[in-house]
Amino acid sequence: MDIKKQTIFLVDNSLESLTSGKNILSNDYNVITLNNDACVFDALEKTRPDLILLDIKMSKIGRHDVVKRLKADLETVQIPVIFLVDADDNEIEHENLFIDVIDYIPKPFSPPLLLKRIEAHLLMEAQRLDLLYISNNLEMIVEEKTKTITKLKNIFLSTMADLVEHRDHTIGGHIERTKKYLKILMDAMREYEVYQEVMAFVDEELALQSSQLHDLGKISISDSILFKPGKLTPEEFEEIKKHTTFGGKIISRIISETPDSDFLQYAKIFAETHHEKWDGSGYPKGLKGHDIPLFGRLMAIADVYDALVTDRPYKVAFPHNVAVEIIKEGSGTHFDPTLINLFMKMHTKFEVIARDVSG
């Protein structure tokens, strides 16, 4: 496919200069020759050039007035103008320094010099236009980039979540339900102004998406334990508890080896701390009270509620009201009392999610 050539106006009253200049430039540019400066404005009605070469001795309008008229018009103000001067005309050469032109080129033309000067100035003009576009559209560019990055993050998180849910098919819909439970609790935190000193710095949407990886470590648990239909032995329970540290390690490795993966810090917190308990009796680290990150304390409620109201290989589902009472009794031991107060206000919404979102 042919690339459209840039257009140059070559303005000179010397037929020799017009012929020489066109012969030098026509392989690389679309050259329009004009034999006096008055023709420039007639030609501009039909064509907008990328650069104008203007002989300094043009007299019908005069070099100063030509440049002034070009720079006074918003349509032509940015067109680069280069003066063509006689090689021995030093006085004119110095005058150019005070006129609104970008350069001068001596005549008779040296082909390499003419080509290089024009190439350099057109490149600078292209760069100026690029910068102007970026400046004028920076907000839009940033917004589009942000949308793209957010989409990639969400795709990554949802894909990993699908991997976990397919690995443990016994908990169908668990990931989606817990995410919705968390949304209910976060909305309530905002409504009742709970832990706002923490939530003020949280990207809630990313946190909710990251919650999908809270059970990521289960991909490392053997089938015989993960799908066991009865009660786990103490040894088996110790093994399944490792899914919290396994999940944290997997996410930490991704963060350390993948650029721009800091967004996974939320996921790491969910994975490592959702089985910690308010009284310090949880695992894997036995964190207590507010030492447990807020996301871990939130997920503890969502995770336990869902485990109670759904069938698992080792148990049948409890009714919603029984699950609520069990969680209420865990306030101050298993769960953060402040968050349980919110849960008690919002638990009917949990029941709707548990009923409507299945695997």
Active site residues: 218
- Report the C-alpha gap between 318 and 305 in whole angstroms: 10
The CA-based diameter of the chain, rounded to the nearest angstrom, is 103
CB 280 within 8 A of CB 288: yes
Q: Counting every residue, how long is the chain?
A: 359
The tokens for 228 are 């066991």
Question: CB atoms < 10 A from the CB of 51, how many?
Answer: 19
Rg (CA), the chain: 36
**Starting from the edge strand earliest in sequence, which strands make up the sheet with 30-34, in order?**
30-34, 7-11, 51-55, 81-86, 103-107
b/e map of 139-165 (b: 16 or more CB within 10 Å)?
A: eeeeeeeeeeeeeebeebbeebbeebb
Take residue 106 and report the two structure tokens written for it: 């001596």
Are the CB atoms for 37 and 84 separated by under 8 Å? no
Q: How far is CA 273 from CA 10, 116, 296, 298, 341, in A?
A: 74, 65, 5, 10, 21
Question: End-to-end alpha-carbon separation of the chain, Å?
Answer: 53
Cα-based distances in Å from 131 to 6, 117, 126, 137, 145: 19, 21, 9, 10, 17
Judged by DSSP in three states, 37 sits in coil
Query: CB-side exposure of 32: number of CA atoms within 13 Å?
Result: 20
Q: Cα separation of 301 and 181, whole Å?
A: 9
Question: E-strand spans in 178-252?
Answer: none
